Structure 1
Amino acid sequence: MAEPKEAAELRRLVWRQLTEWGLPEVIEAAQLCVSELVANVVTHVGEGTPTAFALTMNDTCVRIEIRDPDARALPTLLAPDTDAESGRGMAILDAVADRWGVILHGDSKVTWCELATGSRPATDHASGCRQALGRAQRHFEADLSGTG
């Protein structure tokens, strides 16, 4: 379920999994991305929304995905006023991640972001992530729907 307390648990899971994969250099950025993705669902789709989380890694990038059941509430990159109390989540994600996007699936969506691992030197991290997506990946998933 998309709840603030679940974001804390996901940050711990991300730390544990990325440590196991030997990627300590992306842990902080990945945890920040997870927090912002979950907060986006809580704020714009609703607290308690059934969600699913996936963390994958290939030889050049880590990909974080959050699936929720609302294909209408799309993440939007805003430029909030300096005194605004909200509206910075996707700007933070945009600043931290090498790339991000949304995949629509009829009645649901997956909001994702990618972080370059530094495992292979590349002048264009986003290009490296795109090229490597077809290769074998290490994968971790968590169903946050509360049903399993």
Structure 2
Amino acid sequence: MNGDLTLRLLASPRAIPLARHLVREHLGSHELELCVSELLTNALTHLGEGTPVTLRVTGRAARTRVELTDPDPHAIPVPRRASAGEESGRGLTLLDGLAERWGVTRSAGGKTVWCEMASGGGPTAKPWPRGGEA
């Protein structure tokens, strides 16, 4: 990876394709692009349009980490099982399937929802259950 990427955005429908495009250009990974999209969509859906968020993508030798930080320490994302007829509710399940691991880190000023995957993209062997607080 050619350095880290940090974007300060307002959660909005327009921010999602912008962030996806920048991640795709920076990393060339469709899996990471999809993770970014799911994290931003979750923030928009559950915290509302206009919520300030910070997206960070960092790389280490064999792993890339995506973090989305927002100002609400109480709205913790929880995976759920969406029925076949529902149009939403699959984002965290998708994230769980793509990422090697994911979780939530709370602080006094908000929380960070993060995920990690092998730098080559795509899931690797991982223990069950994934997700949760770290």
- TM, length-normalised to structure 2: 0.80
Q: Secondary structure in 1 aligned to 2:81? A: coil
Q: Does 1:71 align with 2:73?
A: yes
Cα distance per residue 1:70-115 (max 9 Å; x no partner): 1111111111111112111101101111111000011300000011
Structure 1: segments with no counterpart, 5+ residues: 19-23, 127-148
Q: Larger relative contact order (C-alpha < 8 A, sep ≥ 6)?
A: 1
**1:67 touches 1:108 (CA, 8 Å); kept in 2?**
yes
Aligned mates of 2:45, 2:94 — CA distance in 1: 15
Q: Percent identity among equivalent residues? A: 41
Displacement of 1:4: 1.6
CA RMSD of aligned residues (A): 1.8
Number of aligned residues: 116
The higher radius of gyration belongs to 1
In terms of fraction of residues, the more strand-rich structure is: 2
Partner of 1:16: 25
TM-score, with normalisation over the residues of structure 1? 0.73
1:12-70 alpha-carbon deviations (Å, 9 max, x no partner): 1111211xxxxx4xx11001000000000000011110111100001011100110011
Instruction: Structure 2: state its 5+ residue gaps.
Output: 1-9, 128-134
Moved over 6 A (4+): none
From 78, 95, 99, the counterpart of 1:97: 99
Structure number with higher helix proportion? 1
